[in-house]
C-alpha cells in the first residue's frame, strides 16, 4: 500500500524566505466596504481649471480605481448607494444608507465602512448616522471640495485617509467620523464654514477627534455625546421621518414662516436664532403658540459657535421651548426628527439635547 504522506519539496527561494527571521509575513488586511453616495468627490468638470462642475458623475468603481494606494491599507469593495450632489440628500437615501451600514457592520469579516458624500450636507448625514448606526466599528465619511477632474483634486488623499481610519482599530468606539483635509472630526461637532475653501470643515466647540497624515492617525479625544450603540434611537420599524423645518431669525422677522412650516406639516420647528437663540417678540409669540399646540420648538442659533442656553434671554420653562445647547440648526433638526419618533414631550426632548 502506498503511503499517504506527502513529501513537501520546497523551492530553494521559499526555503530561504521561511528561514529568514528578518522577513515577516504581510499581515492580513482588514475588509473595508466603500458606500458611494455622490458629491464633488465623484464630480467632474470639462477642464481641470474651471469652477463649474457637476457632482455625482463618477461611479464607485472609478473612485476606487483612482486611488490604488488605498488597496495597500485594506481589502476594498464598493457599493453605489446613490450618485447625487448632497444638496439633494433625502430621507430615502438616508434610510437606505443607514440600513446598509447596519447590515455591513454586523458582518464579522467587515472591519469598517467608508462613505463618500458631498460636503454640503455631510454634517447632517454624519450626525444622523451617529444616532442610528448600531456598531462600534469605524464608520467614516469623506468628501472633497474639488471635483475629481480638477487640478490638485483633494478627493484622492481624503479617500486614502478615510480608508486608513476605517481600517484602524483605534477608530472604533469614537462615534461616526468625518475625515477631510487631514482632520478627523466627530459627527456632532463638525460644520462647513467656507463655501469653496478646501479647509472648510471645523469643529468649533469640541475640537478635533484626531488628525491623519498620509494614513497615519493621531488621536486627541473620544466622542462627546451618546452615539451608535449607546443611542436610544433606532430605525427599526421607521419608514418615514417626521417633518421638521428650520426658520431663520433676522431683523423684523415675524411669525409667518413659523406658522407656514406647521401648516406645511412640520411636527417640529428649529429656529436659527440671532445670538443666543433669540428672535423678535412677534416670532417668539408665534413659536410659543405653536409649542402650546404640541409642536416641538427648538431654539438654536445662526451664529457658528457657542451654546444656546436654557432660560437666558428667553423663558424656555414658561414657554415650553427646547434649547439646542451646542447643536447648530441643521443638526438640531436631525436630532429633533429622531426624537419625534419617540416622544413629543419637550422636557424629554431637552434631555436628548443634553445627552446627544
Ligand atoms: N454640492 C456638492 C455636494 O455637496 C459640494 C461638495 O461635495 O463639495 O455634493
> Which residues are bridge partners to 297 per DSSP?
269
Q: What count of Cα atoms within 13 Å lies in the side-chain half-sphere of residue 213? A: 1
Confidence tier at 113 by pLDDT (50, 70, 90): very high
- Single pTM value for the model: 0.92
- What pLDDT, on a 0 to 100 scale, did the predictor assign at position 22? 44
- What pLDDT, on a 0 to 100 scale, did the predictor assign at position 6? 37
- What pLDDT, on a 0 to 100 scale, did the predictor assign at position 273? 98
Does the beta carbon of 118 lie inside 6 Å of ligand 1? yes
Q: Residue 315 corresponds to which cell in the numbers above?
A: 423663558
Give me the mean pLDDT over the 160-180 stretch. Answer: 98
Does the beta carbon of 55 lie inside 6 Å of ligand 1? yes
CB 294 within 8 A of CB 286: no
Q: 135 vs 31, 108, 146, 190, CA distance in Å?
A: 16, 11, 31, 21
- What pLDDT, on a 0 to 100 scale, did the predictor assign at position 16? 40
Q: Residue 336 corresponds to which cell in the numbers above?
A: 429633533
Q: What distance in Å separates the CA atoms of residue 128 and residue 37, rounded to the nearest whole number?
A: 15
- What pLDDT, on a 0 to 100 scale, did the predictor assign at position 208? 98
- What pLDDT, on a 0 to 100 scale, did the predictor assign at position 14? 43
Give me the mean pLDDT over the 199-222 stretch. Answer: 97
- Is the pLDDT at 19 greater than 50, yes or no? no
- Cα 133 to middle of ligand 1, angstroms: 23
Taking only Cα atoms into account, the Rg of the chain, rounded to an integer number of angstroms, comes to: 24
3-class SS of residue 37: strand
Closest by Cα among 245, 233, 264, 247 to 95: 233
- Is the pLDDT at 325 greater than 90, yes or no? yes
Q: 53 vs 39, 159, 325, CA distance in Å?
A: 11, 20, 37
- Cα 137 to middle of ligand 1, angstroms: 26
Tell me which of 44, 85, 141, 158 to substitute to probe ligand 1's pocket, judged by most ligand atoms within 8 Å of the beta carbon.
85
- Cα 144 to middle of ligand 1, angstroms: 8
Least confident of 45-59, 62-76, 95-109, 275-289: 45-59
Least confident of 16-20, 216-220, 229-233: 16-20
User: What is the tens place of the pLDDT at every residue in 129-161?
Assistant: 999 999 999 999 999 999 999 999 999 999 999
Q: 98 vs 22, 30, 132, CA distance in Å?
A: 45, 21, 7
Neighbours of 151 (CB within 10 A): 9
Confidence tier at 31 by pLDDT (50, 70, 90): very high
- Cα 124 to middle of ligand 1, angstroms: 13
- What pLDDT, on a 0 to 100 scale, did the predictor assign at position 346? 98
Q: What distance in Å separates the CA atoms of residue 228 and residue 140, rounded to the nearest whole number?
A: 13
Q: What distance in Å separates the CA atoms of residue 91 and residue 93, rounded to the nearest whole number?
A: 5
Atom of ligand 1 nearest to the CA of 41: 7
Q: What distance in Å separates the CA atoms of residue 90 and residue 84, rounded to the nearest whole number?
A: 10
Give me the mean pLDDT over the 267-278 stretch. Answer: 98
Confidence tier at 3 by pLDDT (50, 70, 90): very low
3-class SS of residue 8: coil
- What pLDDT, on a 0 to 100 scale, did the predictor assign at position 27? 66
Mean pLDDT of the chain: 93
* Residues with a known catalytic role: 40
- Is the pLDDT at 7 greater than 60, yes or no? no
CB 308 within 8 A of CB 300: yes
Q: What distance in Å separates the CA atoms of residue 36 and residue 97, rounded to the nearest whole number?
A: 9
Does the beta carbon of 85 lie inside 6 Å of ligand 1? yes
Does the beta carbon of 155 lie inside 6 Å of ligand 1? no
Does the beta carbon of 145 lie inside 6 Å of ligand 1? yes
Q: Residue 86 corresponds to which cell in the numbers above?
A: 448632497
First-residue to last-residue Cα distance in the chain? 73
Amino acid at each position: 500500500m502506498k503511503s499517504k504522506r506527502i513529501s513537501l519539496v520546497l523551492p530553494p527561494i521559499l526555503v530561504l524566505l521561511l528561514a529568514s527571521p528578518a522577513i515577516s509575513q504581510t499581515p492580513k488586511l482588514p475588509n473595508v466596504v466603500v458606500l458611494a453616495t455622490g458629491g464633488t468627490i465623484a464630480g467632474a468638470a470639462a477642464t481641470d481649471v474651471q469652477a463649474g462642475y457637476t457632482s455625482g458623475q463618477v461611479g464607485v468603481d472609478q473612485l476606487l480605481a483612482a486611488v490604488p494606494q488605498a488597496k495597500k491599507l485594506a481589502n476594498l469593495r464598493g457599493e453605489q448607494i446613490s450618485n447625487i450632489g448632497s444638496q439633494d440628500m433625502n430621507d430615502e437615501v438616508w434610510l437606505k444608507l443607514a440600513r446598509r451600514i447596519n447590515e455591513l457592520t454586523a458582518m464579522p469579516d467587515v472591519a469598517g465602512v467608508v462613505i463618500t458624500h458631498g460636503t454640503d450636507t455631510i454634517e447632517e448625514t454624519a450626525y444622523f448616522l451617529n444616532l442610528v448606526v448600531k456598531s462600534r466599528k469605524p464608520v467614516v465619511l469623506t468628501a472633497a471640495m474639488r471635483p475629481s477632474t480638477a487640478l490638485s483634486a483633494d478627493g484622492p488623499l481624503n479617500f486614502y485617509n478615510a480608508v486608513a481610519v476605517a481600517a484602524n482599530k483605534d477608530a472604533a468606539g469614537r462615534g461616526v467620523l468625518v475625515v477631510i483635509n487631514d482632520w478627523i472630526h466627530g459627527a456632532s461637532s463638525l460644520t462647513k464654514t467656507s463655501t469653496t475653501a478646501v479647509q472648510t470643515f471645523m469643529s468649533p466647540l469640541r475640537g478635533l477627534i484626531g488628525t491623519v497624515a498620509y494614513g497615519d492617525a493621531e488621536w486627541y479625544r473620544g466622542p462627546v455625546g451618546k452615539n451608535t450603540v449607546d443611542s436610544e434611537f433606532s430605525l427599526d420599524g421607521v419608514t418615514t421621518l417626521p417633518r421638521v423645518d428650520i426658520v431663520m431669525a433676522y431683523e423684523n422677522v415675524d411669525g409667518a414662516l413659523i406658522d407656514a412650516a406647521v401648516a406645511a406639516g412640520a411636527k417640529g420647528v428649529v429656529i436659527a436664532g440671532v445670538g443666543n437663540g433669540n428672535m423678535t417678540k412677534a416670532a417668539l409669540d408665534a413659536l410659543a403658540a405653536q409649542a402650546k399646540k404640541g409642536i416641538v420648538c427648538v431654539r438654536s442659533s445662526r451664529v457658528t459657535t457657542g451654546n444656546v442656553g436654557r432660560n437666558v434671554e428667553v423663558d424656555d420653562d414658561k414657554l415650553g421651548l427646547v434649547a439646542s445647547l451646542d447643536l447648530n440648526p441643521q443638526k438640531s433638526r436631525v436630532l429633533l426628527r429622531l426624537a419625534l419618533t419617540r416622544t413629543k414631550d419637550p422636557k424629554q426632548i431637552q434631555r436628548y439635547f443634553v445627552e446627544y
